[in-house]
Structure 1
Amino acid sequence: MSANKFNMTTNKSNAEDFDNDTLENAELKGRPLASYGSGSYLASDVTVLLDIVNKDAIADVPVSQKELLIQSGQRHYSDMLTLEQAPSAMHEELYEQALTQGTQRTATDIANLAYSLHHIFHQKVNSERPLVLVSLVRAGLPIGVLLQRALADANSRYSLPSAHYGISIIRDRGLDPQALQLLLERYPDSPIVFVDGWTGKGAIYQELANSLEAFSEPTHPNFANIFHQGVGTIPLLTLADPAGVAWLAASSEDWLIPSGLLNSTVSGLISRSLYTAPQSGLHRSVFYDKLIDVDHSLEFIEHINIARLQLIAPPQRLPVFDKPRYLTAVLIDMLASRYQITNRNRIKPTIAEATRAILRRDPERVLLASPDHPDTTLLRYLCAQRDIDITVLGADILPYQAVTLIKQRTTTTDS
């Protein structure tokens, strides 16, 4: 491994690479924003506002034990971590296939999202007051980095002054308030757009909306930072929005987003975030330094960015929505009733979430819309490896191509 690569992948060693104009006077409470690091991304790509802790200080909880603790109510999922291992050779091969298959679409979607942001904000932002992209760790990070690269492209039709940060959001516990406050103090006059990879049931949207409720009064000094699209409109941007909750999305389809097939190795080598009480600091994360040699994070960004630069068709403006449409709420209700699930957290829809649930949780079964859809190849392979039942429901689960149901581990508390 080269020294160059090590420097890019060490969380706190790349502050000097930051754009000095962007970070001038970025001192907050005695600490510059640049010092928070960028995972394995370039410092110019993102600043990740997380407390990066040594993985040896985190208990490595086996999946079966973690599931029992979560479902019995003894522990919240954000208090524990099952440390990641390197993806298998088959997993890597299927990721490469997904990347080949999805490169053009991802590049086109990023260009369209950037063009739409340019149209909305180009008269409202400048270098002193940039658009602030806030990616929700982790799935939002690759999308946010791609958007940051696109908006920084001075030769494009969608160049726009922007700054990009990653912060934690945790179901039931919300957006990291300390991280958000850092950004509001650093950018008091900038609009903020939250970035995620995709929506499943809309649970993270609701968590985001709950966290931002404190800013919803027009008299609040930070109202304009958050509710720049109007009272009640949560500025959430996603690549895919099957749930119908995003303000701006490239599509509402459930498709094989390449970055959805891997975990830390396509998300800056950063773990899922761990909760920290607001009075104790930022939410925590582990940096997987031992996975550096199998990291695809920067390769993914460069690959999609080159494809974006080679696009011939002009970018298109995408529609925006003031309110969520909750396109799949009835479907989730149907699945909960059919499989006698009282807590919707056991239902993991979309190809990406269904796949991640198999890798990180203890699944009971997988539901598919088609027995042989190419986008679910990895999912079906993982099911075969772990002897997980597959049920094909056809159009009953559309627009989702896949849903994983988490196994019930206790009869007292469903989770």
Structure 2
Amino acid sequence: MVWTGTWVAERLGVELIGGEELPALLGLALRRNPKRAHLLVSSVLGKHVPQRPSVVYGSGLGLGVRVRELLGDEEAARSVVLGYAETATALGHAVADGLGLAPYLHSTRRPVAGVAPAGGFEESHSHATSHLLLPEDPELLAGGGPLVLVDDEFSTGNTVLNTIRDLHARYPRERYVVVALVDMRSTADLGRLDAFAEEIGARVDLISAAAGTVRLPDGVLEKGRALVARHETAHAAPVAPGGKPAPVRVTLGWPEGLPDGGRHGFTPEHREHLEEVLPALAARIEEALEDGRGGSGSGRVLVLGFEELMYAPLRLAGALEDTGHDVHYSTTTRSPVLAVDDPGYAIRTRLVFPAHDDPADGPGERYAYNVAGAGFDTVVLVVDSAADTPELHAPDGLLAQLAAHVTRVVLAVVPAYEPAVTLSTPGATSSTPAVTSPAPAAASSTLTVSDSEAPERSSMLPEPLRGPAFSSYAPEEVGWLLQDLSDVELEAPTEEREEAIQGGGAHYAESLPVEYQPSARYQELFHSALESSAARMARAVGTVTETVLAELPLRRGRHGRDLQGRGPVLVSLARAGTPVGVLMRRWAKARHGLDLPHYAVSIVRGRGIDANALRWLAAHHDPVDVVFVDGWTGKGAITRELAEAIKEFENAEGISGFDPEIAVLADPGSCVRTYGTREDFLIPSACLNSTVSGLISRTVLRSDLVGPHDFHGAKFYRELAGSDVSGAFLDAVTARFDEVAETVEVDVKELLAADRTPTWEGWAAVERISEEYGIHDVNLVKPGVGETTRVLLRRVPWKILAKRGADADLAHVRLLAEQRGVPVEIVDELPYNCVGLIHPQYTRGATGADGKAVVSQ
């Protein structure tokens, strides 16, 4: 038998190292992924590769029996099993079945109105990373018995550690058991689990069916990308040819009150009920298969499940197999993988179809692998009622796709389970609906909602946008709590924008400036500045990150939260804060092994922070853990804006815990307590616009584009990919982390011992300059290197004030000023290295020969 990993191994030099059983359990495929090009494809999971249901179920059942033997019957009876969406939902169910009396819950990416999360975490290597835990029973995870975590593959351990860290802070316990089909940790990762267990003071065991590792040669990621690009072709969705019969719909008679799976919890009583009714449910499918054709008329049958809905289809497939049918089982998925029709490749064919889940986490493609051309005569598609939508039945939908490749399609719909749950905060009355995150009092995140529509609004919000679909950043680097306005024409000439803004006819956030395209000379200056300041940047990144980590327990203590456990949640203010947030996340990962969640949100001067983004954050994380991040402070306007917006949000929503303190790389205006430095130095990411910020525009807030239940918007400038230096900027700074580590340690000790109370020195200077230069509007005075650069790139500048002797940090400012014909005035006793001034008397009363406006002076 040909190993289904030879095609990738021969072309990339990838080696599967382990016992003889590994090649039978794992194949290799390729996917578009900025961190890992190869994909381990399980042959016994029932996700990408159709397999006998007895093999799939037996694999998980056997692991559950081993867990019971490890724990003993008494502890096994006290345990709770947690599986991971989407690939391991059925595997986790089977492990729970093997344990015997353990309740089961799996994570989900489908929010449910009115059900507060009992936890959440990030799966950093995945293409869709945010997981929710939504148990119907608030006490399901609150017991002290062992927690058994089940995933198909244990590689770096990041997902499991993220989960345990989040849950241990809420529901501390003494023992965890990690279960996986394969343990594929590298040598470098082998000790992480033990170290983590010691850190949290709990025992953590690992059980797997097989162990090994993948040896990757140098340059495999680049080679993998090139290989995918060479072989990836458009997959047009085939439409069933004329004469194909319509799908046969089967009425299963699924019992009322029996959950379709573990999305909201699946108890031993539910399991017992399913065992009782399973033969009758399968018999109704069997009737449709035979349909007057005799017992052998169905031929080879594939029972095809749907994304997270894996267990019910698996058990139905197993019951059909028990009655003598030739049955295989697999499920659809949202994971995009390259298909290559070669015996030595794990994904031979793929069907592509529109998402049909309601609510799906955004439109897009879904996939079914190794179904077409696999010799199946009949496909029994099992979906829940939330997925039985018009998209499923559309001409390019999944049913039509299946009908193009098999003789017959049978559709069985399981009712999507709706949890009967009412969660309320102690002391809440009927006039003040509330949502409480179910957890022990001191460790929980409690959200009291005074607006009865707030839970529904939170559940309506989409998951964060991520690269490469939105931004050039890797998906795990940042999730954008924004909506994509890339197809909307928002750019306006700088002069027109300035006139509208100063004239009161428009807000600066209602349009975008035309993206500045740097000259060759300016690009050279950027790279030179990056090379000279990367170490300085790295030092500031390390200092602010270590300060945040050191002060988070104090913040939690002030709010009565557990002082240990999960790390902070970084929330950068788009867009200047986003590269800084990415770098802080990288520092925490490199120096402490922490995989910090990181999101970008919009804040607009005069209009506050995106309230929907705050609602989403509160629904997925403890607000106390949120640390807002920005690039630098100027006069502190955004600092004040955030404080006012958070206060307004708390009063309106009743959701407390968000700290308006901003952590910044540079605080020359002395406006915040948490910073990397108070020097006004050149931050290279301020030199450019989108091409150093993941190709994302400034954020947009306009009533005709952003509704009451929408995130603020932004554009993804895909067309500027050839000029993108976002990755180069991040990598240049990251490469200097090690050399500044000792210096950072000293800096942080000094900072934590110092008086960091903001003096607002910058604000006083701005007020003085505004009056001295006859501007009389502090909003038109932009202090600091970063803000001055913004003036030159986006606004109509009047003049630049430069501090005497600050030439080293102002080369790019002088070049931009020269290009735009803006005078630079040398000034003594300036608290910043430079200040950009926008003249208040900008009009379009005078125009030049080209029709462009002239600035009045």
Q: Same fold (TM over 0.5)?
A: yes
Alignment of 1:169-208 (within 5 A): 169-188=603-622, 190-208=624-642
Distance 1:325 1:19, change over 3 A: farther
Query: 1 or 2 for the larger relative contact order (CA 8 Å, sep ≥6)?
Result: 1
Deviations 1:96-154 (A, max 9, x none): 11111111111111122222222223673534xx411110011101100000111122x
Normalising by structure 1, report the TM-score.
Answer: 0.85
Shift of 1:411: 11
Question: 1:118 touches 1:160 (CA, 8 Å); kept in 2?
Answer: no
| Counterpart residue number, 1:88 | 519
In the alignment, residue 148 of structure 1 is paired with which amino acid?
A: R
CA distance, structure 1, for counterparts of residue 129 and residue 493 of structure 2 = 42
Cα RMSD, aligned residues only: 3.0
| Equivalent position to 2:842, from 406, 409, 413 | 409
Shift of 1:70: 0.7
| Counterpart residue number, 1:147 | 584
CA distance, structure 1, for counterparts of residue 720 and residue 822 of structure 2 = 27
CA distance, structure 2, for counterparts of residue 349 and residue 196 of structure 1 = 15
Secondary structure of the residue aligned to 1:292 is: helix
Unaligned runs of 5+ in 1: 9-14, 228-233
Shift of 1:280: 4.9
Secondary structure of the residue aligned to 1:33 is: coil
Distance 1:321 1:197, change over 3 A: farther
Structure 1 position 254 matched with structure 2 position 680? yes
Question: 1:36 touches 1:49 (CA, 8 Å); kept in 2?
Answer: no
| Counterpart residue number, 1:70 | 501
Deviations 1:318-342 (A, max 9, x none): 3487853211222112211111112
Distance 1:189 1:281, change over 3 A: closer
Distance 1:160 1:190, change over 3 A: farther
CA distance, structure 1, for counterparts of residue 498 and residue 665 of structure 2 = 29
Secondary structure of the residue aligned to 2:798 is: strand
| Counterpart residue number, 2:563 | 124
Deviations 1:321-369 (A, max 9, x none): 7853211222112211111112111111111111121111111111111
Secondary structure of the residue aligned to 2:598 is: strand
| Equivalent position to 1:134, from 571, 581, 595 | 571
Question: 2:531 touches 2:732 (CA, 8 Å); kept in 1?
Answer: no
| Counterpart residue number, 2:131 | 24
Shift of 1:159: 4.6
Structure 1 position 223 matched with structure 2 position 330? no
| Counterpart residue number, 1:297 | 726
Shift of 1:63: 0.7
Question: 1:118 touches 1:159 (CA, 8 Å); kept in 2?
Answer: no
Deviations 1:210-269 (A, max 9, x none): 10113667x985323x14xxxxxx321001111111130111111111111111111111
Question: 2:573 touches 2:602 (CA, 8 Å); kept in 1?
Answer: yes
Deviations 1:177-226 (A, max 9, x none): 11111111111365111100000011111110110113667x985323x1
Question: 1:36 touches 1:50 (CA, 8 Å); kept in 2?
Answer: no
| Counterpart residue number, 2:768 | 334
| Counterpart residue number, 2:827 | 393
In the alignment, residue 785 of structure 2 is paired with which amino acid?
A: I
Q: Which moved more, 1:273-282 or 1:69-78?
A: 273-282
| Equivalent position to 2:790, from 336, 356, 372 | 356
Unaligned runs of 5+ in 2: 1-29, 35-108, 110-121, 134-360, 362-457, 554-561, 846-857
Question: 1:202 touches 1:243 (CA, 8 Å); kept in 2?
Answer: yes
| Counterpart residue number, 1:42 | 474
Shift of 1:54: 2.1
Distance 1:311 1:324, change over 3 A: closer
CA distance, structure 2, for counterparts of residue 172 and residue 341 of structure 1 = 19
In the alignment, residue 308 of structure 1 is paired with which amino acid?
A: F
| Equivalent position to 2:535, from 76, 100, 104 | 104
CA distance, structure 1, for counterparts of residue 491 and residue 31 of structure 2 = 27
CA distance, structure 1, for counterparts of residue 741 and residue 641 of structure 2 = 38
Q: Which has the higher helix share?
A: 1
Question: What is the number of equivalent residue pairs in this alignment?
Answer: 388
